[in-house]
Amino acid sequence: MQEIDRKQVKFLTHKKHPQIVFVNSPFCGTCKVAKRMLKYIEETLEQDKFYELNATLAPEFMQEHNITSVPCLIVFQSGEPLERMYTFHSVPYILKEMSPYLTQAAQKK
């Protein structure tokens, strides 16, 4: 998982191909559990799939995209949010919900 800052996220979210951003806070226990699940997915697929953004360092991004809580997995393409995930039930659930984007993100990182 590649950490990005508020400047990088603006560039990244406007890419032509889907980009998956994991928005979290270092003070959030649920975020830590979700992060472990996402890292497991990356290890299993043997490829970085997600970008990580610290919500506490990007409040304007949070407001601009109406991100109501963390953790949040959000898919962007051409500057628009396509899908959001706030509930991380399990690794299989994340894979099921994000599989179309994981495939595209792998091809056009």
**pLDDT tens digit sequence for 4-58:** 999 999 999 999 999 999 999 999 999 999 999 999 999 998 889 999 999 999 9
Question: Which residues fall within 8 angstroms of residue 59, CB to CB, at 6 or more apart?
Answer: none
Q: Which of 104, 103, 64, 69 is nearest to 87 (CA)?
A: 69
The pTM of the full predicted model, rounded to 2 decimals, is 0.92
**pLDDT tens digit sequence for 72-101:** 999 999 999 999 999 999 999 999 999 999
Fold of the domain built from segment(s) 2-107: Glutaredoxin (3.40.30)
